[in-house]
C-alpha cells in the first residue's frame, strides 16, 4: 500500500507515492553535468575565509559539518516528516538521545521487550547517572507517567513484534508533561511516521531495513522541535558520534530502493508466516500481519505496511542450528532488514529470550523459492 503524500518543490505542489519519494528524497536541484547524487565529500578541515572564518561557508570542520551527511539528513527528514540528525550507529543514536535529554533526577520509561542493549545501557549507565529507569512491555500495561521526563517505545518491538497504539499513548504521555520517543527501526518511515502519530522524537537504526544492503552502520534521530534538534545537534558535535562521508553516501544511495525492497520483504514475511502457522513443530509465531496475532488489531490500522521480520520458536538451540545448516537461502546472522534472508537465535547474544527463539528477517529472494527452502529445512529437522 502506498499512501499519497504532498511535498512542496519551489511554488508547485507535487503529490508523490512512496517509491517516488524514496528515489527523490534529499537530492539537490539538477544541474547539467552533475550526477543525480553527488559523490561523498571526504574532509576533516575545509578551506576557511581568511577574514570571516567559518561564518563565510557552511563547512568548516568535518565533525559538525559535511555536505554529504546533510543531504542524507534531508532525505531521511523528508521520509520521517521532521528534521533529522544522523549518527554513527543505531545504538549511538539512541544512547545519544537518552543522554542528551535526560538529567539526574529524571525518570525514563523504556521497553521491557525491545532491543536488549538499550536496557543494558540503561542499567549500566543511566541509573548510574541518577536517572530513574522504569520498564514497561510494548503492549502494556504502562505505569503512571506522572513525573516522567521521557517515554521510549519500540513498535513493532524487536524481537517480539508487539505493537502499541501510538496516538493513544502520545495523548497519555503528553497529558503528563512528558516526551514520547519512538524507535521506528522495524517499521521504517514507509511503515509508519511516528511524528504524524503524536511522537516528539523518532530514533532508528539505519543499519537495517532503511538502507538494507548490510554494508554500513547508521542511526538517526528526527524531530519537529527546534529546541530538541538543537540539543541533539550540540550533543553529536560534542561527542563526535558521526557517520563517515562514505557511509552517509551509501545510505542515501540505498534509500532509492527502500519501497521496492520492503514490498518484497513484506510479501515474503506473509508467505512464511502462513507456512509456519500451519506447522505443529513451530511454536510462538509472531507477525503482526496475521489476523490472529495479538498485535493485529492495532497494527492493521496503524502500520501502512507490515514488517519483513517475524519470530518463532523451534524448541531449542540444537534444532535452530540444524535448521540453519539445512537451509540454503537462510543465513545465520544478526541484524535484520537486508537483501538476504537471515535468522538470528537471539539468546546467543544474551537477550532474554528462549533458547529456541528465532528472529527471521526476510530478504528479497523469490517468494516461492524461499518458502520451499524453509519448508525443506524444517522437514529435515522435524
Per residue of the chain (382 residues), give pLDDT as tens.
333 333 333 333 455 899 999 999 999 999 999 999 999 999 999 999 999 999 999 999 999 999 999 999 999 999 999 999 999 999 999 999 999 999 999 999 999 999 999 999 999 999 999 999 999 999 999 999 999 999 999 999 999 999 999 999 999 999 999 999 999 999 999 999 999 999 999 999 999 999 999 999 999 999 999 999 999 999 999 999 999 999 999 999 999 999 999 999 999 999 999 999 999 999 999 999 999 999 999 999 999 999 999 999 999 999 999 999 999 999 999 999 999 999 999 999 988 899 999 999 999 999 999 999 999 999 999 8
Question: Domain 5-255 belongs to what architecture?
Answer: 3-Layer(aba) Sandwich (3.40)
Instruction: Compute φ and ψ for 77, nearest 5 degrees.
Output: -60, -40
How confident is the prediction for the chain on average, in pLDDT?
95
What's the start-to-end Cα distance of the chain, in Å? 36
- Residue 198 pairs in a beta bridge with none
Question: What Å distances lie between residue 248 and 243, 257, 262, CA to CA?
Answer: 6, 16, 20
Question: What Å distances lie between residue 374 and 304, 333, 339, 341, CA to CA?
Answer: 27, 16, 17, 10
The domain locations on the chain are 5-255, 259-381
Instruction: State the pTM of this model.
Output: 0.94
Alpha helices for the chain (secondary structure H): 18-24, 67-80, 90-101, 116-121, 166-175, 226-239, 245-255, 258-277, 296-302, 317-326, 367-381
Identify the residue whose cell numbers are 570571516. Answer: 52
What digits encode the pLDDT tens for the residues 223-276? 999 999 999 999 999 999 999 999 999 999 999 999 999 999 999 999 999 999
pLDDT for position 14? 58
Rounded Cα distance between 298 and 98, Å, is: 27
pLDDT for position 2? 38
CATH of 259-381, one of 3.30.590.10, 3.40.50.620, 3.10.129.10, 3.90.1150.10: 3.90.1150.10
Q: Are 142 and 109 in contact (CB under 8 A)?
A: yes
Query: In a 3-state reduction of DSSP, which class is residue 75?
Result: helix
Q: What is the largest CA-CA distance in the chain?
A: 75
What digits encode the pLDDT tens for the residues 129-145? 999 999 999 999 999 99
Give the pairing of strands 107-111 and 83-87: unpaired
- Residue 182 pairs in a beta bridge with 153, 202
pLDDT for position 65? 96
Closest CA to 334 of 353, 305, 54: 353
Identify the residue whose cell numbers are 554494508. Answer: 215
Instruction: Compute φ and ψ for 46, nearest 5 degrees.
Output: -120, 160
Numbers of helices and strands, H then E, in the chain:
11, 14
pLDDT for position 350? 87
Instruction: Compute φ and ψ for 343, nearest 5 degrees.
Output: -135, 140
Give the pairing of strands 5-9 and 83-87: unpaired
Amino acid at each position: 500500500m502506498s499512501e499519497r503524500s504532498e511535498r512542496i518543490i519551489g511554488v508547485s505542489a507535487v503529490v508523490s507515492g512512496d517509491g517516488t519519494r524514496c528515489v527523490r528524497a534529499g537530492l539537490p536541484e539538477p544541474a547539467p553535468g552533475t550526477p543525480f547524487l553527488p559523490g561523498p565529500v571526504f574532509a576533516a578541515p575545509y578551506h576557511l575565509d581568511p577574514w570571516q572564518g567559518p561564518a563565510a561557508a557552511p563547512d568548516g570542520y568535518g565533525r559538525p559539518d559535511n555536505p554529504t551527511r546533510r543531504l542524507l539528513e534531508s532525505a531521511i527528514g523528508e521520509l520521517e516528516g521532521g528534521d533529522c540528525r544522523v549518527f554513527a550507529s543505531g545504538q549511538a543514536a539512541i544512547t545519544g538521545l537518552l543522554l542528551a535529554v535526560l538529567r539526574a533526577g529524571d525518570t525514563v520509561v523504556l521497553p521491557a521487550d525491545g532491543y536488549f542493549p538499550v536496557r543494558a545501557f540503561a542499567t549500566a549507565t543511566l541509573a548510574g547517572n541518577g536517572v530513574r529507569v522504569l520498564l514497561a512491555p510494548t503492549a502494556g500495561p504502562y505505569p503512571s507517567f506522572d513525573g516522567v521526563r521521557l517515554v521510549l517505545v519500540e513498535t513493532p518491538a524487536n524481537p517480539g513484534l508487539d505493537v502499541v497504539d501510538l496516538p493513544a499513548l502520545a495523548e497519555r504521555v503528553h497529558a503528563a508533561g512528558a516526551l514520547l520517543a519512538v524507535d521506528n527501526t522495524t517499521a521504517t518511515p514507509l511503515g509508519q511516521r511516528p511524528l504524524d502519530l503524536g511522537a516528539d522524537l523518532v530514533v532508528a537504526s539505519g543499519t537495517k531495513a532503511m538502507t538494507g544492503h548490510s554494508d554500513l552502520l547508521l542511526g538517526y534521530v528526527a524531530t519537529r522541535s527546534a529546541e530538541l534538534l538543537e540539543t541533539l545537534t550540540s550533543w553529536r558535535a560534542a561527542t563526535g558520534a558521526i557517520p563517515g562521508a562514505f557511509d552517509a553516501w551509501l545510505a542515501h544511495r540505498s534509500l532509492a530502493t527502500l519501497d521496492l525492497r520492503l514490498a518484497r520483504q513484506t510479501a515474503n514475511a506473509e508467505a512464511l508466516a502462513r507456512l509456519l502457522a500451519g506447522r505443529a513443530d513451530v511454536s510462538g509465531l509472531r507477525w503482526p500481519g496475521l489476523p490472529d496475532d495479538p498485535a493485529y488489531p492495532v497494527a492493521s490500522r496503524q502500520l501502512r505496511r507490515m514488517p519483513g521480520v517475524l519470530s518463532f520458536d523451534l524448541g531449542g538451540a540444537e534444532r535452530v542450528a540444524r535448521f540453519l545448516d539445512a537451509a540454503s537461502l537462510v543465513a545465520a546472522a544478526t541484524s535484520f532488514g537486508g537483501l538476504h534472508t537471515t535468522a538470528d537465535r537471539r539468546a546467543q547474544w544474551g537477550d532474554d529470550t528462549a533458547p529456541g527463539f528465532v528472529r527471521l528477517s526476510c530478504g528479497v529472494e523469490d517468494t516461492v523459492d524461499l518458502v520451499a527452502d524453509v519448508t525443506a529445512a524444517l522437514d529435515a529437522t522435524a
